[in-house]
Structure 1
Amino acid sequence: MPNTEPSPDLERAFAALSSDTDRGLLLSGPELRRQAIRRRSRRVAVTAAAVAVLVAGGVGAGWALSDDGGRDTVLPPAVSGTGLASAPAIATPSPLPSSAPSSAPSSSAPTPSSTRPTTRPPAVPKSIPARALLSDSDAGISDVARVEDPFEQLEFCSKAEFPSEAQVGVRATVRMFYRGPKSEAGSVPDDTVYNTVTVYRGDGAVDYLTELRRAVEDCPSGKVGSSEAQFDWLGSLGVGVGEESVLIDRSYESRDGEGEPLDNGSRNHTYIAAIRIGDAVTLVDGQGYEGWGATRPDFEKQLAGKAASRLEDWRG
C-alpha cells in the first residue's frame, strides 16, 4: 500500500503559500476583480490622452482634411470625458480659400513695349536710270548728254571737305542747256546745267547736304576756275521739295563780251540746288552760259523742282 503521508517539501510549499496570503500577496476574488477594472480604466485614459496630444499637434502643425465639397476642415480639439484629462483648447484657424490664387499677371504688370517695324532702305542699284535725271522732255531743256567723265566735286575753297564721297554707291551725270520761258527756241541758252544723281550707302546722303551747308559757311568766297566767286546760302527750296534741300547762290563779278570786269558793282548769279530723298541726292548745278545764268524763279521751279520730282518718282 503506497505511502500517503505528505512529503516534507510539499508541506513547506503550502506553509509559504499560507504565509503570503496572510501578508496580502495573494488577493481574494472580489479584490482581484476591482483591481482589474482599475487597470483597464488607466489604459483607456492613457490611450485617449495620447490621441488628444496627437490631434493637438496635428492642428498646431496645420493638418487639415478636405471634405467632398472642397472645403478644408480642421480636426476638432479633443474633449474631456470620463476620467480623461482635458486637452488644452486650440483656436480653429479660418478656412483656407477654396481655390488657389490665380497665377495670371495683374493688368498693371509691365508688358514688353511694341517695337515699330523698321523699314529697310532699298538696296543700292547697279546704275541710275535716265528717268531719274532731267531730260529733253522737261520744259526749256535741250541737248541732254550723258557725262562719262568722273564726277568733279563743287569748288568752294580749300576748307570745304566732302568725306561723304567715301559712301557713294552709284552715280550718274547729264549735261544740258536751259532756256527760260521768254527765250525763243534756237536762241542762245540762258544756262548750262549739270544734273547729278547719287545713291549713297549708310548716312552718306544726309552727310552730303550737311557738308554743303558747312562749305558755304566756311567759304563765303572762293575761286571757281580763274574767277573769284561769292557763295550765299539761301535756305531750302521749300516744303514738299524732297525730305531736305539746300539752295546756294554763287555769283561772279559782271564782265563784258571780251571777258573784262565791268567794274560797276554788278554781279552775275548762278545757282546750286541739292535735294535729298532717302539715300539719294539730286544735284542741280547751273554754271551759266557766256557769264549769265537762269533767273532764280526759273531755276527753282523749272530745274530744281523738276529734278526733285524725277528723283521722287524713282527713289521715293
Structure 2
Amino acid sequence: MSRDLTRLYQALAADTDAWELPAPNLLRRRVDRRVRNRVTLGALAAAVLVGGTAVGTRVLLAGPDTPPGPPAVTPSPAPLSPSSSPTAPPSSSGSPTTPAPPRTSGAPTASARPTAATPTSIPDRAFFALPAANDTGAGSQFVPGPVLPALCAAWPGEAQVVVRRARTLPFKLAGAPADAVPAGSYRHSVTVYRAGRADDALRELRQAVRDCPRQVAPDAPGVTTTQRLLDGAGYGEESVLFETRTPYRDANGDPVGGDEVHLVRAVRVGDVVTVLWEQGWESSSTDRAQFEADSRRATEAIRNWLS
C-alpha cells in the first residue's frame, strides 16, 4: 500500500471517530416524529382537496347566472350609534314589508267583537232581592220553562245562548196587608250569550215583537193577544220593553171588557241579558211603578255580578 493511500485511511478513521452514534431509543423517537409529521401533512392536504372540490361543485351546480351562497359565518352587524334607530328587517320574499293600515273610528264590525272570557255559570247574586215591603215570604223558585211570551212561535237569540237560569218570584205592593194575595209574579231570567252576540239577541227580540202584533192566546183558544213595543230606554247598555194585552174574561172564558196588560223588559249588560216578565196574579195587570223599580234592581244586580 502506498503512503498516500495509508494517509487517507488514517484521516477517514479520525473523522469517523469524532461523530458519536445516537442511542437506539433516541433514534426510534426521531423516526416516529417524522412519521407523524408525514401523516399530519397528508391529512391537511386531503382536507384542502375535499374543500376545493365542494366549492367547485356548488359553483358548477349554481349555474352561470346564480351567485354562490353566502359564507358559512356571517359577520356581526356594527352596533347602532345613539342617534340611529333600527330598521325593520326585509320580508323573506325580498319585497318591502307593507305597514298595517291605521285603525279607524266608527261603529264596530262583526270582526271586532269582544273577546273577553264569557261566564259559563250564573250565581244567585246575579238575581235581585225584593225589598222587605214587597216580599211575600214565599221566596223564589228556580224552575225550567219559557223566559219570554210566545211571539208567534219565535224564540229570539236562542242559537247564541251559553247558559241561562230562570226563576219565578211573586211580589206584593208596599202597604198591602200581610195576608194579602200577591199583586203579581215575575218570570225573571238571566242569560249569558256568546261573546258579542247579546246585542243580536235584543235586535231579534225587537223584530219578533214587530212581526207578531197579534196572535191567538196560547192558553185560551179563540182569544186574541196583541203585542207592541214601548218606549223604555235608560236601562243597562240597551233594553227592549214591550207589552202583551189580552181581553179580560169571566170563568167561562167570555170577554168582560178591558184588557189584562203585562210588561216585559230585556236589559243587556255586556254579553248578559236579564229579562223581567211580569205575568200577573189571578188576572191582575202589571203595576208600572213597581215594574220600573224592579227593572232597576235587576239591572244593578247584573252590573254588580259582572264588576
Q: Scaled by the length of structure 1, what TM-score is found?
A: 0.57
- Whether the 8 Å contact between 2:228 and 2:242 is mirrored in structure 1 is yes
Matched, 1:296 2:288: yes
- Alpha-carbon separation, structure 2, partners of 1:119 and 1:138: 41
Letter in 1 for 2:296: G
Query: Quick check: 1:231 aligned with 2:224?
Result: no
Give structure 1 stretches of 5+ with no counterpart. 1-101, 105-109
Residue correspondence of structure 1 range 108-257 to structure 2 within 5 A: 113=102, 120=114, 122-137=116-131, 139-142=133-136, 143-149=138-144, 151=146, 153-158=148-153, 160-162=154-156, 164-222=157-215, 223-226=217-220, 227-236=223-232, 238-239=233-234, 241-256=235-250
Q: What are the Cα deviations for residues 40-83 of structure 1, in whole angstroms up to 9, with x where unaligned?
A: xxxxxxxxxxxxxxxxxxxxxxxxxxxxxxxxxxxxxxxxxxxx
1:48-87 equivalences in 2 (<5 Å):
none
Q: Are the counterparts in 2 of residues 167 and 202 from structure 1 also a CA contact under 8 Å? A: no
Deviation at 1:168, TM superposition (A): 0.8
Q: Matches of 2:100 and 2:148 in 1, distance apart?
A: 52
* Change over 3 Å in CA distance of 1:180–1:246 after alignment to 2: same
Check conservation: 1:203, 1:279, Cα contact below 8 A: yes
Report the AA paired with residue 284 of structure 1.
Answer: L
Paired with 2:159 and 2:166, the residues of 1 have a C-alpha distance of 18
- Quote the Cα distance in structure 1 between the aligned partners of 2:265 and 2:122: 19
Cα shift at 1:138: 6.3
2:277 to 271, 285, 310: 285
- What is the number of residues matched between the two proteins? 203
Compared CA separation, residues 313 and 199, structure 1 to 2 (3 A) = same
Is 1:213–1:246's contact at 8 Å kept on the other side of the alignment?
A: yes
In angstroms, what is the RMSD of aligned CA positions?
3.1
Query: 2:147 touches 2:275 (CA, 8 Å); kept in 1?
Result: no
Tell me how far apart the structure 2 counterparts of residues 261 and 299 of structure 1 sit (CA, whole Å).
28
Choose which of 267, 288, 292 in structure 1 pairs with 2:259.
267
Where structure 2 has 5 or more consecutive residues not aligned to the other structure, the ranges are 1-82, 86-98, 106-111
1:130-168 alpha-carbon deviations (Å, 9 max, x no partner): 11113345651442333242545530214x352x21211
CA drift at 1:304: 1.2
Identical-residue share of aligned pairs (%) = 31
Q: Distance in 2 between matches of 1:245 and 1:138?
A: 27
Cα deviation, residue 115, structure 1: 8.4
TM superposition score normalised by structure 2: 0.58
Runs of 4+, deviation exceeding 6 Å: none
Gap change, CA 1:261 and 1:131, over 3 Å in 2: same
